[in-house]
A and B are shown apart, each in its own frame.
Chain A
Amino acid sequence: MKKWLAGLLVVLISVVLAFTASCGPGEGEANTYKLGYLGPLTGPAASWGIPIKNGMEMAAEEINDAGGIVVAGETYMLQIVAADDRFVPEGAVTAVQKLIYDDKIQYIWGPIGSACALAVQPITEENRVAIFAISSDALGPEHPYTFSYLSSPTARAEVGYPWLKQNRPEVQRVALMAEHTPTGEAALEGARVGAEGQGLEVVAAEYFEPGITDFAPLLTRMLAKNPDVIDPSSTPAGPFSLIVKQAREMGYEGLFYTSYQPAEEVLVVGAGAENAEGIIAAGGPVYPKGTPEQQAFYQKYIEKYGKEVWQEAVSLGYRWVYWTTLIFEQVDSFDPDLVVEALAESEFEGIVATYRFGGEETYGIAREVEGNQTYLNIFHNGEWEPLAIIPLEW
């Protein structure tokens, strides 16, 4: 049976050849600086990941058109290298190694989710690669190169309650619900603190398994307690719409408050414009109705990529490129230690708010992004309308 031997050799050699042929070091311009994106591009979470990557590319293009960045006397054009992790930790582990070892990238936006972030952390920390993940669980003084681009779920959940107390005095009884994940737990507890801190009564607080779409049992229990406002804390847009629809169908006439503002189309189609009327959400600005810069940003994006791929999250990627490259120019170096230090102490004025990194009390190190203001919006006639801008304590 020596044919198998020949076969094995053939397979292995072709694999070797194919690999070396395709994966040569991508020499572009001599002065290109690469930034990385690590996140879902295929698979179920692709609809979150792709807009962020688009935002990054839009920013990179703008910077390049304006002449690139100048660091240590050299001019660099930016290039965004994206690696797909399919939203699974193993995918993230392999993808991050490609970015670090093959593309020689030092700054990566992503991954999305604690599972992926924790999985890649051993590798990124060891290689002094700064990652800006959507995860609060990965932060800590022993991981100085890990940042979180997710503002604290606790802080977000709290935000609306002072406003509610002042402007909606009829709201007294609060029902909380959240997905049974670390993020959900943090958000629910934050909401509880926020509500009770304003003297409101939390009449129900329940967790549900992520992925369920039938909230009837949970809502039955909740509505029996007669809440004035239901706060599904950090539930994503799809399930949130279902919660709204099902609660309304069961006769609930009270208020909904959420700290994760869902996209309009999802809300209209999933819950129905009538059911969704009056929902208050904390989140980003309503770009088409915001400041001139916000409107221009929105217009530019949808012209380039299309309205279906628009998400508030686009600004995350966009902002990251601008902020990080600003620091490169400020410290005049790409060295991670210098950049990370400077980032942790910097403030960045974006079109939505001014940002910095905070969180020392919670994590022991300032690596969690904080904005100096957040927006409250209300859903009216099938669209989000700006309601109030809430300044945040820094």
Chain B
Amino acid sequence: MSRRELAKWVGLPLLALLFLAAPFIFNDPYYQHLLILICTWSILALGFLLILSVGQFTIGHAGFMAIGAYASALLTTKVGVSFWFALPLAAVIAAIFGAVMGWVMLRARMGAFLLLTLCFAEVVRLTIVYWPSLLGGRAGFPNIPRPDAIFGMAFDSKFPYYYLILFLLAVMVFVIYRMDRSKFGLTFKSIAQNPPLAQSVGVHLMRYKILAFTVACFFAGAAGSFYAHYLTFLSPEYFTVWKSLIVQMYAIIGGIGFMIAGPIAGAAFLVVLPELLRATETFSFILYGAVFILVIFFIPGGLLSLPQQVGVWRQALRRRAKIPGGIRPWQYLRPGS
């Protein structure tokens, strides 16, 4: 069996088993909560990376999560729709916003796009803050109902929630995987690498950019809806620009060269890290910041490039040569490779 086949037939199922069994391995609801958070933020981080793969850098992804979250909350509380309809509906609503805003914003260059997404996200958040009669404002939106029982499983413990968000994550991973493998994927990569060339061979840039953006927003909305019904309480503080920035960190620190695994690994690492740092209290900020810096400097390709990085180090030691300026393998990694 070749190594590739080994990976495919043993590695992947092993990984899947790990994810499926996780809440049983960590039987404490606190750890299960962290698992749920990891999955939720993975969806956002994947979305960020998807958008990055068409050459744009968004700083407002949390805004679309907010749209999905509040839409779902309103649908279930004010309109009386069941969660199982509200979730896809909210995702679609977020996707529509994504398509429209994408059409408006994606024509801009990377620098301007970044600023536009920031403004949009803040407009969304501030609309929530200053519309307390409908959306609860700063005081929050309470009493969001839990999902109705499905397949005989009631949502009174963390298990069903975990499998639900895991399912959403799996769907997103599958969609991204298929997109990547299809002609869309090739197009995305060509757009990212050389937009003018891509355009010159007849690629409709905007169409593909909007597609990627819409997909990312769809899942962000779905994650938002999930989040609303998991916490049963929403606050505009959940969807700040700061949160969007932190989610990007997950993707970057996980490794942007790894389109699917990177954000998930990054999310796992960076959700768990502050919890481990609880014991340090006042030092937690210092250590958190230091970890960011250390990872970028020593494992610049992201956590998942550690095996390669170790190889580079071994080579350097063997040659006992000082590589001028340091090691920067991210130059050789493009999103999606």
Contact = CB atoms under 8 A, between A and B. Distances in A.
Instruction: Please determine if A and B sit in direct contact within the complex, based on CB atoms under 8 angstroms apart.
Output: yes
A84 B278 contact: yes
Interface in A91-134: 93-94, 97-98, 100-102, 114-115, 118-119, 121-122
B289 interface: no
B7 A2 contact: yes
A118 B278 contact: no
A114 B235 CA distance: 11
Contacts, number: 130
Nearest to A119: B233
A11 B138 CA distance: 37
Contact of B30 (A11, A42, A101, A118): A101
Nearest to A101: B30
B275 A115 contact: no
Interface string B290-331: 000000000000011111100000000000000000000000
A89 B258 contact: no
A42 B284 contact: yes
Interface in A1-54: 1-12, 15-16, 18-19, 22-23, 41-42
B78 interface: no
A98 B269 contact: no
Interface in A46-97: 82-84, 88-90, 93-94, 97
Interface in A111-167: 114-115, 118-119, 121-122, 137
B265 A88 contact: no
A7 B307 contact: yes
Contacts of A41: 281-282
Given A11-B303, A118-B233, A137 B139 contact: yes
B304 A4 contact: yes
Contacts of B233: 89, 118-119, 121-122
A9 B30 contact: no
**Interface size range of chain A in the complex:** 35 or more
B15 interface: yes
A391 interface: no
Name the residue in B25, B30, B284 with the highest tally of chain A Cβ atoms < 10 Å from its Cβ: B30
B174 interface: no
| Interface SS majority for chain A | helix
A42 B15 contact: no
Contacts of B269: 11, 15
A82 B238 CA distance: 23
A347 B151 CA distance: 50
Interface in B26-64: 26, 28-31, 33-34, 37
A18 B272 contact: yes
Given A8-B264, A19-B272, A118-B139, 19 more contacts: A3-B307, A4-B261, A4-B304, A5-B11, A7-B304, A8-B15, A8-B265, A9-B18, A11-B268, A15-B268, A19-B31, A23-B275, A42-B284, A89-B233, A89-B238, A94-B33, A101-B29, A115-B235, A118-B140
Interface of A: 1-12, 15-16, 18-19, 22-23, 41-42, 82-84, 88-90, 93-94, 97-98, 100-102, 114-115, 118-119, 121-122, 137, 181-182
28 contacts: A3-B307, A6-B11, A6-B307, A7-B258, A7-B261, A7-B303, A7-B304, A10-B306, A11-B269, A11-B306, A12-B18, A15-B268, A22-B276, A23-B275, A82-B281, A83-B278, A88-B237, A97-B33, A98-B30, A100-B29, A101-B30, A102-B30, A115-B139, A115-B235, A118-B140, A119-B235, A121-B142, A121-B233
